[in-house]
């Protein structure tokens, strides 16, 4: 009556149920763990130049550049359910055309095995900082935030924003030539 396939199916179903329960317990044990830490962000030498843009209405867009200094100790965020962090630096500002503009300037993947302090000194942004018009020149309130996605072994992908930000004031004059 009970064949080898029937017994194998029972063992497989029990093992799958037990593994699901353990995975759910892993998720529950770290759901309220720490996701935020203090960071230090500094942007030096802000510059803006105008460049041709064939998509915008005016035919010109502002292209900004800064030198970034980022220091963050992310080791308290890592626990036994965190596989890696995807960190990214966001510039957020307001223009007359848009109430909120967000531009990702820099990113980094921090693996579980590293568990270190992230230090970037005089780093250039990895991605272009281009406005969809000419609103960056003389802008007084461009705020830089460090955010990250926590990639777990089990559970949902959590988003967090670091404690600390930096406000950049761009000059009122364009620079010419290359950055």
* Tens-place pLDDT, residues 53-78: 776 677 788 999 999 999 999 999 99
Residue range 125-138: mean pLDDT, rounded: 91
Q: What is the pLDDT of residue 45?
A: 93
d(CA 53, CA 134): 11
Residue 176 lies in a domain: no
What pLDDT is attached to residue 74? 92
Lowest-pLDDT range, 27-31, 42-46, 141-145?
27-31
In this structure, what CATH number is given to the domain that contains residue 137? Answer: 2.60.40
Average pLDDT, integer, range 17-25: 92
User: Do residues 23 and 61 both lie within one domain?
Assistant: no
Residue 25 sits in the same domain as residue 63: no
Same domain (yes/no): 70, 25:
no
The range of the structural domain enclosing residue 20 comes to: 1-32
| φ/ψ (deg, to 5) at 160 | -145, 155
Same domain, yes or no: 115 and 153: yes
Short-list 47, 49, 91, CA closest to 70 = 91
Whether residue 51 sits in one domain with residue 10: no
Examine the domain organization and report whether 22 and 92 are in the same domain. no
Over residues 73-117, the pLDDT tens digits come to 999 999 888 999 999 999 999 998 889 999 999 999 999 888 778
Report yes or no on 112 lying in a domain: yes
Cβ atoms of 175 and 45 within 8 Å: the answer is no
Q: Say whether both 100 and 126 belong to one domain.
A: yes
Token couple for 149: 């996605």
- 39 and 17 in a single domain? The answer is no
Residue 177 lies in a domain: no
Per the structure, how many domains does the chain have? 2
Instruction: For residue 51, name the pLDDT band (cuts at 50, 70, 90).
Output: confident
The DSSP line for the chain is: ---HHHHHHHHHHHHHHHHHHHHHHHHHHTTTS----BEEEEEEEEEEEEEE-SSSSSSEEEEEEEEEEEEEE-GGG--TTEEEEEEEEEEEE--SS-S-EEEEEEEEEEETTT--EEEEEEEPPSS-EE-SSS-STT-S-EEEEEEEEEEESSS--EEEEEEEEEEE---SS---S--
Per-residue pLDDT, averaged over 21-47, amounts to 89
Tell whether 175 is covered by a domain.
no
Asked whether residue 75 falls in the same domain as residue 100, the answer is: yes
Residues 18 and 97 in one domain: no
Can you give the pTM of this predicted structure?
0.85
Q: Do 81 and 16 have their domain in common?
A: no
The mean pLDDT of 156-164, rounded to a whole number, is 92
What is the pLDDT at residue 53? 76
- If asked whether residues 53 and 5 sit together in one domain, one would say no
């Amino acid at each position: 009556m009970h064949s080898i396939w029937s017994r194998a199916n029972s063992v497989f179903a029990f093992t799958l149920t037990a593994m699901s329960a353990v995975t759910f317990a892993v998720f529950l044990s770290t759901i309220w763990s720490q996701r935020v830490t203090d960071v230090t962000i500094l942007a030096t030498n802000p510059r803006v130049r105008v460049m041709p843009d064939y998509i915008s209405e005016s035919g010109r867009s502002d292209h900004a550049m800064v030198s970034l200094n980022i220091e963050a100790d992310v080791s308290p965020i890592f626990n036994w359910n965190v596989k890696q962090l995807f960190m990214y630096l966001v510039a957020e500002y307001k223009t007359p055309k848009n109430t909120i503009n967000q531009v990702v300037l820099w990113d980094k993947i921090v693996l579980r095995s590293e568990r270190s302090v992230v230090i970037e000194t005089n780093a250039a942004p990895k991605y272009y900082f281009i406005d969809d018009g000419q609103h960056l020149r003389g802008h007084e309130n461009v705020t830089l935030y460090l955010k990250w996605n926590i990639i777990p072994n089990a559970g949902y992908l959590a988003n967090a924003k670091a404690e600390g930000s930096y406000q950049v004031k761009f000059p009122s004059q364009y620079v010419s030539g290359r950055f």
